[in-house]
Amino acid sequence: MQRSDILQAAAQAFRQKGYHAASMQDIADAVQLQKASLYHHVEGKQDILLAILDHALDLLITDLEEVVATDLPPDQKLRQAMHAYVGRLTQDADLAAVLLLEYRSLEPKARAQHIRRRDHYERIWRDLIKEGVQANIFQPVDETVATFALLGVQNWMITWFKLGGPLTAQQLADRFCDLFLHGLLTSEGHSKQ
């Protein structure tokens, strides 16, 4: 039995029931341990949540920094970043769902610290958009709004996407990216504007 096994089981439980509704007993059952034995590996329930959130954010930051370090043009960087992000959200779905939906359950101190790291991650995305705008590849949009829109589309995916459905994660990332790059309107739609 390893600490990481407990974190994984906890992530699954937190995702399914939510942090407060999932009990330490649920987690213990999932790893076939007595509840008391969990405290040999972790300090408490909050400790588990914090470890999950830190780990999830670590993965995402690593992924994204790999992409922005390339010398691809901005629109292709964006596509790569979306592929990586959607990939993580589907591959490590439990971790991702807890990151996006359960960070509210952190106690104020830890939450403030976590939010600072999350903002740093969002700034990397915003800089990616800004790079495209300054290169005149992207239109002069409000970078903050565009970033939240981009992240919103992808984040909301975790609430409805099911592996094994009609689309793979990579196909979905491509369609999201196409939508963002080209928009909905046809030339006919444009001419009517």
Enumerate binding residues for a second copy (CB under 8 A). Answer: 18-21, 73, 75, 78, 101, 104-105, 129, 132, 136-139, 141-142, 145-146, 148-149, 151-157, 160, 167, 172, 175-176, 178-186, 188-189, 192
The reply to whether 45 sits near DNA by the rule CB under 7 A is yes
Cβ 13 to DNA shortest distance, Å: 10
Burial profile 105-140: b = 16 or more Cβ within 10 angstroms, e = fewer: bbeeebbeebeeebeeeeebbbebbbbbbeeeebee
Tokens, residue 74: 């901005």
What one-letter code names the amino acid at 58? Answer: D
The reply to whether 37 sits near DNA by the rule CB under 7 A is yes
Scanning the structure block, which residue is given the tokens 């106690």? 107
> Among DNA, a second copy, none, what does residue 24 contact (CB within 5–8 Å per kind)?
DNA
- Residue with Cβ nearer DNA (48 or 60): 48
The span from the CA of 98 to the CA of 49, in Å, is: 8
Counting Cα atoms < 13 Å in the Cβ hemisphere of 93 gives 15
- Residue with Cβ nearer a second copy (32 or 119): 119
* CB distance 11 to 26 below 8 Å: no
The reply to whether 34 sits near DNA by the rule CB under 7 A is yes
Interface ranges with DNA (CB under 7 A): 1, 22-25, 32-37, 39-41, 44-46
